[in-house]
Structure 1
Amino acid sequence: MSKPLVLATRRSPLAMCQAELVAGRIVEKTGQEVVLLPMLTTGDRQSQWSLEQSGGKGLFTKELEQALLDGRADLAVHSAKDMPTEMPDNLGLVAFLPREDPVDIFVCKEGVAQPKIIATGSPRRRAQATKLFPEAKWIELRGNVETRLRKISQGVEAEATLLAAAGLKRLKIDHFPGLSFRRLSLQEMVPAPGQGAIAVQARVGHSQEYDKINDGQTENAVKIERAVLNAFGGGCQVALGANYCGSTDQLSFFHEKCGIKSLRIAGRAQTDWMDELTGWTKNK
């Protein structure tokens, strides 16, 4: 009997939920037993750090990657939007689960039409939401999803925040006492590259072993979005949004120099449509 696969994951409730989804899919598609290896990352330990000021890159992935490199884990589970475009040479993304709703949710204290203080550590969210709430002040609010919701409902530090729809759905949170939830369209806010997708990372040379759990449509979309991220530099602390919908062939794009744009890319060389994106950011 083969040994169980060891799956490295962060310890947060959302990360554990995502790891359970991956483990369940592996069991369903391959019959292979899976055990979880919950870990604390630098980003988890340094809960008082400003992610924007500390750079954000690798803060939630490095320890999981090290577990892969030293053989303590066979796989690591990540939110695809947290993954830097650069990773150790002998590691790669080998599978993606079917994508959840990629958009953002605006969460606001009930009865507040125009929040004075909005909490987010994401330059992308802040840059786009400033157009919706030009008078608001911005603060960074750390903590897991339920902690942030509770703080907003109390209204002490901030009256509103922005969260990924996918995380809320996976945690089965569609309401919270004292709060209202509003789904933001792609015309209002373009998500982060990879948002809503769960990525599975492994050592190079093992990708074919996980073909059965991979969702090709999600993989294609995330690869396109990560190509945009790579071209314009950075990780989750860049004011950049990219979302590709294969069913409509629509690439939605946000850059602080051009705002929200969209284009179709089917049948076009990547260099062609990437040049169009670059042109938008230079013509402002």
Structure 2
Amino acid sequence: MRAVKSGEIRFFFNYFARCGNWFPHRAPSIFMKKIRLATRGSPLALRQAEMAAEFMGGMSAGTQFEVVEIKTSGDKRQDWSLEKFGGQGLFTKEIEDALAEGIADVAVHSAKDLPTRISANFSVFGFLPRRACRDVLALRSGVGIPSLIATGSPRRRAQLKKMFPQAVWTEIRGNVETRLKKIVSGAADATVLSEAGLERLGISSFDGVRFVPLKLDVCVPAVGQGIIALECRASDAEKYAYMTDSASAEMFALERRFLSGLGGGCQAAFAANFDGRFFRFYHESSGFRKISFPDGADIAEMFGIVDGIVSTLG
């Protein structure tokens, strides 16, 4: 991946402001004794909060971190179909409420769960380094071609229908381990999980399940998949703005540009992924495409190319 210049980072955050408040790197102005991190209470969310504390702590020596567990609407209503009710804000609203009420200082999110529009009261100021971002097909042992696949994601379903045109689709809810146990018990032949989630939980194998990572050209991940995002009150944004990974910030910006241009959310059959070399995207009307940006292109030029793609799809 090309190096991202500090001036580009400043331009990127200003240029991308229409999708939220974004701030450049700058040195911390005050010492922060303690930072309270708001997160969901699932094992994966708690692990992500630990990772956020490690990342932020590496940039703010001596700062202590406290994890504040928040139960979101998406956690409370396990009977809801995310596709039917929509995923926008289901896993973030109550966490943002904790920021607004002063219960927490920083919210930790899976970037793919962020709503398309961020309230002016809040700022997404930082991103942890992206690692794994692929989707993983989790098949019950002994199953060759699954006939019943559990996923509530229109994006995953639309892309996997090409691989499994005869499959019937259903939905299962719950944390990662719960969903894997349901596959073992026969609730479905397979489900689709995030590689990042499995990696963060340390799950490389599971009794009764076979994992098949899906190539990026086969199933384009959700926008921001594999990235942990950090959010704070807008009034605190400058205080935390230096705590970010510039490569992840650029990846998220380009992917988000595609999503926001189309007006889609996490329950739309759109997908985009930038790995530093190729920009892959999927749209339900045109299918899969992959492009590379011109050598030396800056963030403004890349935004322009993405905007051009969106104009042909909208």
CA distance in 1, matches of 2:68, 2:43: 14
1:107·1:163 contact (CA, 8 Å) conserved in 2? yes
Structure 2, unpaired ranges of 5+: 1-30
- Residue number in structure 2 paired with 1:168: 198
* 1:136 matches 2:136: no
CA distance in 1, matches of 2:110, 2:59: 21
CA distance in 1, matches of 2:32, 2:219: 46
User: Which piece of structure 1 moves more, 59-68 or 267-276?
Assistant: 267-276
Moved over 4 A (4+): none
* 1:89 matches 2:120: yes
1:85·1:235 contact (CA, 8 Å) conserved in 2? yes
CA distance in 2, matches of 1:202, 1:133: 42
State the Cα deviation string for residues 85-106 of structure 1 (Å, max 9, x = none).
2122120111100112111001
Shift of 1:38: 0.4
* Percent identity over paired residues: 44
2:88·2:116 contact (CA, 8 Å) conserved in 1? no
CA distance in 2, matches of 1:41, 1:146: 19
CA distance in 2, matches of 1:262, 1:86: 26
| Residue from 282, 288, 292 that aligns with 1:254 | 282
Q: Taking structure 1 as the reference length, what is the TM-score of the superposition?
A: 0.94
Supply the RMSD in Å over aligned alpha carbons.
Answer: 1.5
Letter in 1 for 2:100: L
* 1:184 matches 2:214: yes
CA distance in 2, matches of 1:26, 1:118: 38
Matched residues, number: 278
Q: Taking structure 2 as the reference length, what is the TM-score of the superposition?
A: 0.85
CA 1:2–1:196: 2 relative to 1, 3 Å:
closer
| Residue from 18, 21, 36 that aligns with 2:51 | 21
CA 1:182–1:3: 2 relative to 1, 3 Å:
same
SS in 2 for 1:141: coil
| Residue from 38, 41, 49 that aligns with 1:11 | 41
The 5-angstrom pairing of residues 9-158 of structure 1 reads 9-31=39-61, 32-155=63-186, 157-158=187-188
1:60·1:82 contact (CA, 8 Å) conserved in 2? yes
Shift of 1:271: 3.1
CA distance in 2, matches of 1:159, 1:110: 9
SS in 2 for 1:170: helix
SS in 2 for 1:276: helix
